[in-house]
Amino acid sequence: MPKISSEILWDLSAAEVQTRESEEEDRGVQPSERTLFMMGSKAGGKTSILYRCVDKDEAPKPTLALEYSFVRRTRRHSTPKDIVHLWELGGGTSLSDLVQITISPSSVRSLSVILVLDLSKPNCLWVTMERLLLAAQEHAEKAFQTLQKTGNKHQMSVQPTRVLPKDYPDRELISPFPVPLLIIGSKYDIFQEFDSDKKKLMSKTLRFVAHYYAASLIFTSIKSESLVSKTKVFFSHLAFGLDKGKTVSTDSTKPLFVPAGSDSFSQIGTPPTSDMTSIHAKNPKDLWKKVYEYNFPPESVSEQQELKDPAKDPQYNEPPIDAMRAQKNQELEQYKRNVEKSWKGLDLESRQTTA
């Protein structure tokens, strides 16, 4: 067999790659650009989950407000790389106004939302879920409406809400979230120690909410490698369009894995109302809310007051700026003392004159 030089082998390999890339382009396979927006419970583990999903090997830091990062992925024989823009909202519900920065007409067509809810704090769960989903939904719908009014012909064809298959369960009874939505129940390691009745009510409530919005629902814990692995599957589905698998689990004694479209109201059942003497609800969603908050009374905690001063956060240390800020703070305090003395002097002089 004649010996083939390395140059010829290189040329043959390059030609093969170009051929496959051309075939992919002919089939319409193009690099994608998507946006993932993660929000949820304060200190609920959002950053930890995100780091594990993107294989970021470093200790997560508390998210102060709204943080941006991105990841790239190279598909086989495909250049340039797929890119996913990652936005993470900190502060729980206190910074929900920042949702408008991420959800805009320029991003909404390729946007997916991930809502992380802390299962270890059931009394805060419904309020957090309701406020953040409402904020995201309003801005997403406004963004689609803007596209319809000002966009080109291609943008004009975009519907203001997701269009579900005709055979989607309870299609006429649900209200699909405007963009793909994944609800993650975090800290399952703590949740699994709850008594069975609590776990059953929380699980069924979240299943109802997820199905109502045509969303996927999973429970996870960063302390479990198997749960993290399954979370990565759902993350990769939203980020890169990969298959999310066929795993379904609706057993409240186990971690939930409910892909969108795999549940139904008949399977979920009705909320337990036997302990409630009288209840008035406008619709099924309102009924589930009242039952849930009856069993888990919402805590009235002002998250805005709990936010730390970013200037005092050690992760944002800037020695030159911090030194200048300290000097200005001292000058301000001295100014306040001088003003206070001058006002006291004026007050004393005024009293003497009056006397």
The helix (H) or strand (E) run that includes residue 24 is helix 6-26
- Residues 98-124 have pLDDT tens digits of 999 999 998 999 999 999 999 999 999
The helix (H) or strand (E) run that includes residue 340 is helix 319-354
Phi and psi at residue 173, to the nearest 5°: -110, -10
| Regions of the chain where pLDDT drops below 70 | 1-31, 75-80, 151-161, 300-317, 336, 339-355
Neighbours of 61 (CB within 10 A): 13
Tokens 């409406």 belong to which residue?
145
Sign of the Cα torsion 46, 49, 55, 57 reads positive
Q: How far apart are the first and last CA of the chain?
A: 121
Asked if residue 183 lies in contact with residue 209, where contact means CB atoms within 8 angstroms, the answer is: yes
The pLDDT value given to residue 272: 86
Asked if residue 274 lies in contact with residue 237, where contact means CB atoms within 8 angstroms, the answer is: no
- Comparing CA positions, the residue from 179, 85, 97 lying closest to residue 141 is 179
Residues in the chain, overall count: 355
Using DSSP, state whether 127 is helix, strand or coil. Answer: helix
CA 211/CA 272 separation, integer angstroms: 18
CA 184/CA 115 separation, integer angstroms: 6
Neighbours of 152 (CB within 10 A): 8
Could you tell me the two tokens for 50?
Answer: 């995100």
The pLDDT value given to residue 163: 82
CA 17/CA 28 separation, integer angstroms: 17
- Give all strands (DSSP E) within 200-267, no chain letters: 216-219, 257-258
* Ranges of each domain in the chain: 29-295, 318-354
CA 27/CA 81 separation, integer angstroms: 17
Tokens 């009014």 belong to which residue?
149
- Residues 342-351 have pLDDT tens digits of 655 555 555 5
The pLDDT value given to residue 285: 95
What number of CA atoms fall less than 13 Å from residue 165's CA on the CB side? 6
User: What residue spans of 174-224 are helical by DSSP H?
Assistant: 188-191, 196-212
Using DSSP, state whether 117 is helix, strand or coil. Answer: strand
Tokens 């337990």 belong to which residue?
272
Phi and psi at residue 191, to the nearest 5°: -60, -35
CA 273/CA 275 separation, integer angstroms: 6
Could you tell me the two tokens for 21?
Answer: 């890339």
Edge-to-edge order in the sheet of strand 111-118: 66-73, 82-89, 33-40, 111-118, 181-186, 216-219, 257-258
pTM: 0.77
Q: Domain 29-295 carries which CATH code?
A: 3.40.50.300
